[in-house]
Chains A and B, each alone.
Chain A
Amino acid sequence: MEQSNDGNLSQVRHVVLVLSGKGGVGKSTITTELALALRHAGKKVGILDVDLCGPSIPHMLGVGRPDVHQCDSGWVPVYADAQKGLALMSIGFLLEDPDEAVVWRGPKKTAMIAQFVSDVAWGELDVLLVDTPPGTSDEHLAVLENLKKHRVDGAVLVTTPQAVSTGDVRREITFCKKTGVRILGIIENMSGFVCPHCSECSNIFSKGGGEELAKLTGSTFLGAVPLDPLLSGAMEEGADFIRSFPDSASFGAISTISRALLCDLEGA
C-alpha cells in the first residue's frame, strides 16, 4: 500500500511548494519562471498546479488545452517542451470549457487534490514544484496530507513589498510552522519598476517588505524580482521568458534565486 501511494513520486528527488497566503503576488509566475530556470540549468522539472479555481500555469507555459491521457500508473502529465524535461499537471486540463468555473466546496477539492498528488505518472524528476492558490485552507491541507508519505523539501513563500501582502504571508509562515513545512525562503516579487523611458525607479507596491518579513521571521531572503512588462508580456504569450529576455533585470534575479534554491535542495 505504501509503495503504491508513493509510487508515482518515488522518482521525484525534490518537492517544493510555492505558497503565499496573499493572492496575486505572482506565485504562478514565479513557479513558471523557476521551472524554466531549473530546466535551462539541465534539470528535469514538474509543476503541479493545485489552484482549482484559478489554474494559471497552462496559459503561462503556452500549452493550450491538451487532452490528458491515462497510462497504467495514472495520468500522463503534459510536456511543455519536446525533450520532455518540463512536465505539467493542472485542473485546467480537465475542464471542457475554460470559462466554466470550478465551484466546489472543500471536501470535493480535497478529493481532487488527493488524486492529483498520487495519480500523475511523473516518472523521473529532479524537482516537482507545487503551485498553490492563496490562503491556508482545504487545498493546502490536502496537498500536505497527500505528500506526507513522500518528502516535502520545503516551501518558497512569495510576497510583494506591501504590508497588506506581508501581513498575509506572516500567517502563511505560521501555517508552515504548524504543519512542519521547512521554509526554504522568501521571494519579494513586483519589487520596484524601472521606467523603460527614463530609468526612474518607482516603488509601485511599496518597498522592502519582503526583506523585513524575512528578518522578522528568521527566514532566508532569496531575492527580489522587479516589475517587468517583458516578463508580464511573456507570461501572457506563454513564451519562454528566460530564452527571450536573458538580459532583463528579472532574469538576473530569477537565476540567482533558482541557483540558491538548487544549492539548498541538493546540499540538504
Chain B
Amino acid sequence: MAAAEQQPPAVDGGKALSALLGGIAQAAYYGKVDITEELLRGQLYPEAAPEEFRALRAKMGGLLQSIASADMDLNQLEAFLTAQTKKQGGITSDQAAVIAKFWKNHRVKIHESLVNQSCWDNVLKNMNWRVDLKSQSRHVDQINTPVAIVEMELGKYGQDSEFFFYCFCCFEKEMTPKQFHSVFYRSLDENFHQLCNRYMMS
C-alpha cells in the first residue's frame, strides 16, 4: 500500500484530479496560457493551502509529462502507474485510475500537439485548384490550352499563412501535372508504404 503524503482535500477527489489534469494539459499542450495555478486551485481545491496545491500540481504535471513524452501505450502506462503507487511519496491507486482514464482519452490529441510543436518549417495548410481554358493570355501559345491553377496556403503552425498561386500547362517545356504525378508514382513503391506503416503503428 502506498505511503502517499497527505493529499489536499478536494471537492470531489476523482473529478477534481481529472479536471486538474485537464487544466495542466490545456496549458502545456493546448496553448491556453491563461490557466494559472491560482485559477486551478480556486476552482478545484479551494480548501487547499497554496504550497500543498503547488506540490500536487507539480507532481501530476511531472507524471503527465513522463507519460506524454514516452507516448505510453496501455501496457507501459499500467506498469508506470503501478510503480508510482509503490513509491514513497507516490500516488494512490485511485489517483492512478484517474490518470489512466485521462491519458486514454487525451493521448492522441496530446501527441498531435507535441508533433505540431516540433514542426518549425512551413507546412501546407490547404490546397485548392481549378482548370481554366484560357481564351485570352499574354502568351499566344497559351490560348485555348487548358491550364491548371493551384492555390497553396503555406505557413507555420499557429502563425498567419501566405497564399501562393502556381500554374500547370500542357506545354512540352514546362512540367505538366502528369509529369508531376509520375515523379511520385515512379518512387511510390512497396518500401515507401512499408516504411510509413512501420512508423505509424506505434
- On whether the two chains bind one another, the answer is no
